[in-house]
Amino acid sequence: MVPEWREAYMNYNYLKTLLKQILIFHRRQTSSHVNSLPPSKAASLKRRTSLFRAFSGLTNRYGNSSPKKDKEDEVILVSAMQTVDEEQGEDGQSYQTTFLRSPEEGGELELVFFRGLDHEFNKVVHFYKTKVDEVVKQAEELSEQMDALIALRIKVNNRVNPRAAAVSPFINETNTGSYPLDAIHEEQQEKRSHDARGYKMASLEVLKHVKLNATPKTPRSTIKNVFKSLNLDLRFNKNEVRDAQEKLKQAFIEFHQKLRFLQNYAFLNQLALSKIMKKHDKITSRNASDAYLKMVEDSYLSQSDEVAKLIGRVESAFVKHFCNGNRNQGMNTLRPKAKREKHRLTFFVGCFFGFSLALVVAIIASVRARDLLKSEGRTQYMNTIFPLYSLFGFLVLHMLMYAGNVYFWTRYRINYSFIFGFKPHTELGFLQVLLLSFGLSVLTLAAALSNLEMELDPTTKSYKVVTELLPLALLIVVLLIIVCPFDIFYRANRFFFLVCLYHCICAPLYSVTLPDFFLADQLTSQVQLLRNLQFYVCYYGWGDFKKRNAETCNNSDVYDVFFILIAVVPYWIRLVQCIRRLCEERDSTQAQNGFKYFSTIAAVVTRALYSKKKGITLKIIAASTSGVATVFSTYWDIVMDWGLLCRNSENPWLRDKLILPNKSIYFIAMVLNVILRLAWMQTVLDFHETPSVHRNALIAIFASLEIIRRGIWNFFRLENEHLNNVGKFRAVKSVPLPFSYEDGYKNL
């Protein structure tokens, strides 16, 4: 199934439930009749009934090869009726089955089954016809877009004389001059001019009636759009040809995927109809499937060939115009092969997990053996080395939460790959994410264990430089892996992450997409990680690592200022992203969302100031701003991002559509969200001054709770997004087309 079209498929389970009721009725009737017979006759009757059950056939898909029945043996009559779609005002066709054996005992149950079957079949046919009409219109639009692209290529390249240059690249193998998509309306073929060789002529007049859909997507174009109106007229340069071609290429890929979805949709529903009718015949010992499946074969669902023709034309056009005639390259792009899970992936995940556990045990044993928790160097270690390694701990925890998200998204058929916009079959499964997580944890724990074994140099009473550089070396290795240009360590995903991160840094100069603001939301839960990065710069940049002392960082006013600014950056990114979306989409909810992040910025700043300067006034201000931000953010999480707390919903205080079977999980998640959002109270109530636990350890614990809260938020946020796509039957990305035609203009 296409997950977003789930409601449009035939409800097979519902029809099986109706058949089960018929089966129970027949078993009761048979058992009561058999019980009234002597034992010998009852056994003989059971054998005879099993011998005379309907045979499903060996070769025919729908079982239409069975002998013709007399009219008196007919079970159903299927008739087609003309209907009018009240919403669109169009004529349509619906099918109705008349059950001829309803007066028989138990016939009312079969009558209910056939009514349900008709309803499901008519739903499928209506949806399929609606989608076919959509793709036909999209094909016509893509044809017009290709006309403009070809004319623009000719104008820019200008390699031959104008008349010869007007030869369109849309030429089939027999030089009949048919366009790959225009064959939908072949009557227009005669209206197009051909040269002496039979080639289609591409008119440059098209360029006088089209404009480029120039949307400000880059920082440069955004800034230009602010200071002057953007010129939408064609300037006929190679950059525009390349950009237009890239947009059309992506549009063809998405269009081809939609066509394949439709083709599979028709096949699956026909298969389901065949199987459910065979089940009916087996249970009732009737032969009604022949008549019904004959109607299915004659219906629009089976007879329509627009989708198959369009698939062939799209593939031909894509190979010719976007792959230089290389069919293998074109088909690999349009029909990418599914990923194959390898056993070594599971093996290495298990290995790294085992290594991580062993290193954790070794660290605990080393700490207890040396009694490091009560040693003089405990405070020094917690103030310097612990923040350096806790950065990787936050990163590993976030990756583990994401692995859990991916596992449950996959289990409950939430199409996270489509929602995030990953290239087909490049998304990471939960095993791949676990592999990266445990691999990083092994490196981190091994380096941390090495640092525990390092002691002061007896002569200089200072720590060795090489040993103190271990955390920095580990950080450099991780950064080099992330930016590595070679096709290793899931390059497509690393590049996708870097692009989204760059868009976040440059906000609001880029148009905001879901992956961009989703990543920015993740950064808001990693404030402590960003502060640890700041500590790296200070600790190694100012040379404190040579003596394992962070006095320079702790006593610097510049460090304190950046300590506040670093915490504000993620929320500032989300604020300006909301402003950008408000300007583009004119959606008032973005203004409210922006105010949420503004209130959070105020809370973060006042809490940071209180943690540095103390004072009862700052404490009251920090508590007040944090309380307001928490209430607003909690409401937004549960109501807007998760779509819950709907009073008049089918599921009280939840929403009409739920994916998880256990409703209590939603209420538990809401309660946990509220509790974990109160982690800021550890700053205001001075929990970090607990003598038994070091301040940095407490900060790390509360930072980890926020990461866990974000992981829970991620699942329900994407669940809500997925259900919105399901409600709109949105299964492929909407790609903006490069050209727009004047009103009333038609291609020559």
Residues 6 or more apart whose CB falls under 8 angstroms from that of 208 comprise none
Q: How confident is the model at residue 187 (pLDDT cuts 50, 70, 90)?
A: very low
Q: How confident is the model at residue 37 (pLDDT cuts 50, 70, 90)?
A: low
Are the beta carbons of 603 and 680 closer than 8 angstroms? yes
| Packing angle, helices 430-452 and 470-483, rounded to 10 | 160
Q: How confident is the model at residue 468 (pLDDT cuts 50, 70, 90)?
A: confident
In b/e form, how buried is each residue of 528-558, taking b as 16+ CB within 10 angstroms? bbbbbebbbebbbeeebbeebbbeebeeeee
Rounded to the nearest 5 percent, the helix, strand and coil shares of the chain are 70, 5, 30
- Residues forming a β-bridge with 211: 740
As a whole number, mean pLDDT of residues 611-636 equals 90
pLDDT for res 679: 81
pLDDT for res 180: 43
Residue type, 267: F
Is 60 exceeded by the pLDDT of residue 408? yes
Q: Which residue has the tokens 């040269």?
A: 195
Q: How far is 100 from 116, CA to CA, in rounded Å? A: 16
Is 50 exceeded by the pLDDT of residue 392? yes
Selected residue with higher pLDDT from 254 and 424: 254
As a whole number, mean pLDDT of residues 624-645 equals 94
Are the beta carbons of 414 and 659 closer than 8 angstroms? yes
Q: Model-level pTM?
A: 0.83
Q: For the chain, give me the number of helices (H) and strands (E)? A: 26, 4
pLDDT for res 683: 66
CA torsion sign for 714, 716, 721, 723 is positive
Residue-by-residue DSSP string for 118-178: HHHHHHHHHHHHHHHHHHHHHHHHHHHHHHHHHHHHHHHH--S-HHHHTB-S---TT----
State the Cα angle at 212 between 210 and 214, rounded to 5°: 155
Q: How far is 297 from 299, CA to CA, in rounded Å? A: 6
Q: Is 32 exposed, middle or buried, given 0-12, 13-18 or 19+ CB atoms closer than 10 A?
A: exposed
pLDDT for res 547: 80
Lowest mean pLDDT among 207-221, 690-704, 705-719: 207-221
Selected residue with higher pLDDT from 501 and 552: 501
Is 90 exceeded by the pLDDT of residue 391? yes
Q: Where are the alpha helices (DSSP H) in 455-587?
A: 465-468, 470-483, 491-505, 514-524, 527-541, 551-554, 557-585
Report the range out of 113-117, 356-360, 507-511 with the highest average pLDDT.
356-360
Alpha-carbon distances, residue 689 vs 84, 231, 620 (angstroms): 74, 61, 19
Selected residue with higher pLDDT from 657 and 173: 657
Please report, for the chain, the start and end positions of each structural domain, with discontinuous segments joined by +. 343-727
Lowest mean pLDDT among 23-27, 233-237, 501-505, 695-699: 233-237
Q: How confident is the model at residue 340 (pLDDT cuts 50, 70, 90)?
A: confident
As a whole number, mean pLDDT of residues 602-622 equals 88
Q: How far is 349 from 503, CA to CA, in rounded Å? A: 32
